[in-house]
Structures are given as structure tokens and as C-alpha cells.
Amino acid sequence: MHCVRKVTDDLYWVGANDHRLHLFENIHPIPKGVSYNSYLLTDEQTVLFDTVDWSACRQLLENISFVLKDRPLDALVVTHLEPDHGAALQEILLRFPQVKVIASVKCFQFMKQFGFCLDGHECVAVKEGDTQTFGKHTVTFIGAPMVHWPEVTLAFDTTNGVLFSSDAFGSFIALDGKLFQDEVNFDRDWIDEARRYYTNIVGKYGAQTQSVLKKAAGILDQIKMICPLHGLVWRDNFDYLLDKYQRWSSYTPEDHTVMIAYASMYGNTESAAYALAARLCEKGVKGVTVYDVSNTNVSYLVSEAFRCSHIVLASVTYNMGLYPIMRDFLEDIKALNLQNRTFALMENGTWASCAGKVMRKFLTEDMKNMTLLDETVSMTSALAENQADQLEALADAIVASLQNK
Ligand code: FEO
């Protein structure tokens, strides 16, 4: 059965939802699913903008058949070839042997690398500023390399103001019948998953995302709709969305608050983490969050680290070094280029404690623009009652730093 939604009078969402995939990119949990968005324009020529993951190909084909009726598919625009959008391309090429394929040079290179057969198809390589006209609609192409792969080229329909934004402005969470952002309470129900999507998938490429934001700002008065490859279509409130992307891509915290991430083997470091959280809340800090790194998928920790201005790391010592899961978290935020945060440290070790030393070295030598508070709490096995003053001093230092920012 087809499952299609109208985006404009002659543009249809023909994508699919996926609730069966547990791990996006086989690494990030998606408990609320994800959508693969594909769009079909029915102008004098019919034009498909991107395809879907292979698992959703059948739904895509049913949707295309329903919209096309007896018309042929004339053109396929590929803005991004990552297989969550490009895998069904081969099937489209087989079923529509006359379809013209429009993509960047790099995208055509990747099609060959993935083994797609383009024999017999007209292939049109486009670059920044090129245009294609399909009848009354003219589409101009905007380079967006590394948002999120190097071949990415956005497509902007200058006739109706629809920006096909590829991975940019996308989100986890399946659509389940919804399509537009004004059909949900985005700030309540979607923002956390949109942040987790951006920070983990595109977070490393802040500079490249900033470049795309500058290009979008140049045509903002013409943009009427933003159609990403995952999640909701935006038809108003662009300022909200652009502000989030501006913050995430410039590594600017969204909230002046504290995230505490702890690594605890037997509950003693955990207990100290909650004791600090209670002190901070008593002192009036709003929105303190606490995470056990062993029981929280790192994609959520990364997302929170992008949201919060202050991060407390509380870790046990392990094998004369840092607890491996805490190290993984630090390596992840380093790989994703996180910057401009204030850190505070708590360490634990029954003998020869060195977690604090390792974390301090990592934050100051391996990461960019991180501030480390001087105050720390060092435990031997457990936080002792006579360390209450140390805990208080650490909480005071964090509060002072929050107020300074
Ligand atoms: Fe949704 Fe980079 O693919």
C-alpha cells in the first residue's frame, strides 16, 4: 500500500519509516525509529530527489508508482549517496532505464564505487551554481561537502522555494504519518533526537556546516520550505532551526548548565556524582543531568556534551589508567571536535589513583579550547564524610564559572 504525503501542489513525500533498524549506521540506537525521505516532483518532467535505504525500497517503489500513475520517471537528483539514501538507487535505475541521473562528479564516482550500473542512463554532473529546469520548476545546486559526505550537493527549487537539504536539518524519529514540523511539538518531543542526530552524524564538520549556513542565509528570503532526508519538513520557524544549527556547528553550548558523567565500578564514584549533583541543585543550578557512562549509549552522552556548557567527569582508575568507557566517551567528543566547554574532574582509586591525571592531560593537550577548573575531588575508594568541604568547594567553583559565563 502506498504511503504518500503532499508537500506542495506538485511535490510529494514518497519516503518510508523504519522502526526495525536498531542501530543507525550500525552504531547509534534509534528507539523511536527514523525516516528516509525521498521527494517526487511532478512537473512537465517527473523528478525524484534521492531514494531510501534498501530495507525501505519496496515502500518507495509503491509510493512512486502511486504518484506517477502512467507517467515515466524522467530524472533522479542524488544529493547524497550514503546508502541510507542511495541504496535503492540501483533499483530505480533498473526500473526506469530512461531516467536521467543528476549529481555531483564526486557522487557519480561513489556510485561506481558502490557498484551501481549507469549504462544507458544520461548522467548530468552538476556543481555549485548550476541549474536544471524541469518545466516550470528550476533547480539550482549548492555544494555542501562534508555535510555529511564530500559528494553532498543541496538542491534549491527557485520556483517554489523548496530547499532539498540532504542530511542537514534532519533528525532521528520516524514520521509515522506526520510530515511537517508544525504537526508536532518539536521543542518538547524532537529536539533531543535532532541534536543527537546532528552531533553524532555531522558534529565533526562544524566548519563545513557553518559554510552551508552562510549560503542558506544568502537565500533565506527565498526559502519557503526545508526538506531534509530524515525527519520533518520545515515550512516556518526557520529562525529556531537555524539558531540550533548555528550553536551546534560553532560548538557553542545551548544551555548554561551541568552534565555529570560518571564511571563507577561498585557505586562509590556514582554516589559522589549524585552528592555533587545535589550540591549544585541546592545552589540553584537548573537542569543538572547525571549519566552513568557504562549504562548510557555514548551517542546520548555526546549529544548532552554539545548541549551543556559545563561537564563534570567522575571516574575510577582502571589498569593504572582511565576507565575504558570513560576514555571512549572522551575519544568520541574529541573526534567530533567538541570545543569551548568547562570541565571539572572527580577521580577515584583505592591505590595509585591516576584517572584525574589522565583526564586532565587529555582535556588540556588533546582537545581544543577547553577550560579546566582547578578544584577537584580525589577519592580513595569512596568519598569520605571529611571531604564534604572539597565537594562544596567544587560545587562553588562550578557555580562561579556558570555565573561568569
Ligand atoms: Fe542520512 Fe549521511 O546519510
Pocket of ligand 1 contains residue 34 by CB under 6 Å? no
* pLDDT given for residue 405 in this prediction: 74
For 34, phi then psi, to 5°, come to -155, 155
Atom of ligand 1 nearest to the CA of 148: 2
Atom 3 in ligand 1: which residue has the minimum CA distance?
Answer: 82
Pocket of ligand 1 contains residue 18 by CB under 6 Å? no
Q: How far is the CA of 324 from the centre of ligand 1 (A)?
A: 29
**How many residues make up the chain in this entry?**
405
Q: How far is the CA of 199 from the centre of ligand 1 (A)?
A: 13
Identify whether the C-beta of residue 66 lies closer than 8 Å to the C-beta of residue 12: no
Atom of ligand 1 nearest to the CA of 36: 1
Torsion of CA 72, 77, 81, 82, to 10 degrees: -80
Identify whether the C-beta of residue 288 lies closer than 8 Å to the C-beta of residue 260: yes
Pocket of ligand 1 contains residue 148 by CB under 6 Å? yes
Q: How far is the CA of 51 from the centre of ligand 1 (A)?
A: 11
Q: How far is the CA of 155 from the centre of ligand 1 (A)?
A: 15
Identify whether the C-beta of residue 368 lies closer than 8 Å to the C-beta of residue 333: no
What is the rounded CA–CA span in Å between residue 140 and residue 112? 24
Instruction: Give SS3 for 50.
Output: coil
**Residue among 108, 93, 207, 199 at smallest CA distance from 153:** 108
Pocket of ligand 1 contains residue 80 by CB under 6 Å? yes
In our burial notation (b when 16+ CB lie closer than 10 A, e otherwise), range 218-228 reads: eeeeebebbbb
Atom of ligand 1 nearest to the CA of 170: 1
Residue numbers in the chain where pLDDT is lower than 50? none
Atom of ligand 1 nearest to the CA of 166: 1
Render 88-152 in DSSP notation, one character per residue: THHHHHHH-TT-EEEE-HHHHHHHHHTT---TTS-EEE--TT-EEE-SS-EEEEEE-TTSSSTT-
Longest dimension (CA), the chain: 80
Q: How far is the CA of 160 from the centre of ligand 1 (A)?
A: 25
In our burial notation (b when 16+ CB lie closer than 10 A, e otherwise), range 319-357 reads: eeebbebbbebbebbbebebeebbbbbbbbbeeebebbe
Pocket of ligand 1 contains residue 28 by CB under 6 Å? no
Q: How far is the CA of 306 from the centre of ligand 1 (A)?
A: 20
